[in-house]
């Protein structure tokens, strides 16, 4: 990370990328890719938001086993990669930069989405108290309980690590500037980290060292495949999303960050508090400053990206306190020109929540810029 400016709109270098500002568009699932293939409207959507310093794609399944929601994009078939190439070309033509968020949902899935209708996989055969999104015949979203998972065998885990590396190479081949590993929000990597979903008795369960093993192996494999300077990782230490829970959050994530420090990553993306909810959770206290200090103390040089409920004032305060990048999520949905609105102090357009998941152009590509 270069440049010590605390100006949200100052250019900076992050990993392999020269960014025009420090505003990041967070990954936002929109369920508009039938068959996992991004259609033309997806290219329009991302290109409209290309003024962000960096775009992070919606979560993208690395394999069909990794898919957990209807009509989310994938990166494991030629058609999917070709669809993403149209998107990345459009973003680059608009002057933007985009990375692909690599996703394996683990137990947050449904048998109707899995290969052969099989059970989803997880660290342990513990059902999640969570829901996923399926689509009705009329194309509208329907929230249903996730299916009970089966425990991954020890022999299957190296193959999943290889799937992440393969997907990272496919992302670069599809024109992405890099990737973000989704290690947050109660999905597979987070499931291995946390004791509420990981009760294994082998070297991927039990101790903090063992539970962090998959996250570190995946990140190392991805960095080896495409370069650490094109690799980011997203974590959510305390979010309860998708039934994620553990009793040793602070030491667990400080251990993880110390393990990531030597990998030369582009950025570490930290969701503070409950994803899409409160930034402070009194029953789940966490010291984010200590987390960053653990990472820096171990030699970590990646840009520090903060996320969750940020506005201009909070973003300025975070940058003054040592953050490097600020991710904005839902405000980008209804404000494709969010960077301009933040810079000029313009009001934000309201979000139509009825069109968040599934559908067509309405509530997707039809939000106007400020005149």
Query: Minimal CA–CA distance to 72: which of 54, 57, 88?
Result: 57
CA distance 6 to 336: 23
How many beta carbons lie within 10 A of that of residue 112, not counting itself?
Answer: 11
- Contact at 8 Å (CB) between 52 and 338? yes
How many beta carbons lie within 10 A of that of residue 131, not counting itself?
Answer: 14
CA distance 246 to 198: 9
Point out the catalytic residue in the list 45, 69, 76, 187.
187
164 as an active site residue: the answer is no
Q: What is the pLDDT of residues 304-359, one digit of tens each?
A: 999 999 999 999 999 999 999 999 999 999 999 999 999 999 999 999 999 999 99
- Contact at 8 Å (CB) between 361 and 354? no
Question: Over 70: is that where the pLDDT of 257 sits?
Answer: yes
Structure token digits, residue 215: 């996250």
- Contact at 8 Å (CB) between 106 and 152? no
| Residue 265 binned pLDDT confidence (cut-offs 50, 70, 90) | very high
Q: What is the pLDDT of residues 81-139, one digit of tens each?
A: 999 999 999 999 999 999 999 999 999 999 999 999 999 999 999 999 999 999 888 87
Q: What is the pLDDT of residues 44-62, one digit of tens each?
A: 999 999 999 999 999 999 9
| Residue 4 binned pLDDT confidence (cut-offs 50, 70, 90) | low
The full set of domains in the chain, from first to last, is 12-327 (3.20.20.70)
Question: Over 70: is that where the pLDDT of 274 sits?
Answer: yes
Question: Over 70: is that where the pLDDT of 1 sits?
Answer: no
- Between the alpha carbon of residue 102 and those of residues 42, 149, 169, 260, the distances in Å are 17, 21, 11, 17
% of residues, the chain, pLDDT over 90: 96
111 DSSP 8-state letter:
G
pTM, whole model, 2 decimals? 0.97
Predicted pLDDT at 138: 81
Predicted pLDDT at 294: 98
């Amino acid at each position: 990370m270069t440049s010590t400016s605390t100006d949200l709109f100052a250019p900076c270098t992050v990993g392999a990328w020269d960014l025009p500002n420090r505003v990041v568009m967070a990954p936002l699932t929109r369920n508009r890719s039938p068959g996992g293939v991004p259609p033309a409207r997806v290219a329009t959507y991302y290109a409209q938001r290309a003024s962000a310093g960096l775009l992070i794609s919606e979560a993208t399944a690395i394999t069909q086993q990794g898919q957990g929601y209807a009509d989310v994009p994938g990166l494991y078939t030629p058609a999917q990669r070709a669809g993403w190439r149209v998107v990345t070309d459009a973003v680059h033509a608009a002057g933007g930069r985009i990375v692909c968020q690599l996703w394996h949902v683990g137990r947050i899935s449904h048998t109707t989405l899995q290969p052969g209708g099989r059970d989803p996989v997880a660290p342990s055969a513990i059902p999640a108290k969570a829901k996923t999104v399926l689509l009705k015949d009329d194309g509208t979203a329907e929230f249903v309980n996730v299916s009970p998972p089966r425990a991954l065998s020890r022999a299957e885990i190296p193959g999943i690590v290889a799937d992440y590396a393969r997907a990272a190479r496919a992302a670069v081949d599809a024109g992405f500037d890099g990737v973000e590993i989704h290690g947050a929000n109660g999905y597979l990597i987070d499931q291995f980290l946390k004791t509420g979903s990981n009760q294994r008795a082998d070297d991927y369960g039990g101790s903090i060292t063992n539970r962090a093993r998959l996250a570190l192996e995946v990140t190392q494999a991805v960095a080896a495949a495409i370069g650490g300077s094109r690799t980011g990782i997203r974590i959510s230490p305390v979010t309860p999303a998708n039934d994620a829970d553990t009793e040793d959050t602070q030491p667990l994530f400080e251990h993880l960050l110390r393990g990531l420090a030597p990998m030369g990553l582009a950025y570490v993306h930290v969701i503070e508090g409950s994803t899409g909810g409160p930034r402070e959770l009194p029953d789940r206290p966490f010291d984010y400053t200590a987390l960053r200090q653990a990472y820096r103390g171990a030699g970590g040089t990646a840009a520090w990206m903060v996320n969750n409920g940020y506005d201009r004032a909070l973003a300025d305060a975070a940058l003054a306190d040592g953050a490097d990048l600020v991710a904005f999520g839902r405000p980008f949905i209804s404000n494709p020109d969010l960077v301009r609105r933040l810079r000029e102090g313009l009001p934000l357009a309201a979000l139509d929540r009825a069109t968040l998941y599934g559908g067509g152009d309405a509530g997707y590509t039809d939000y106007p810029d400020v005149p």
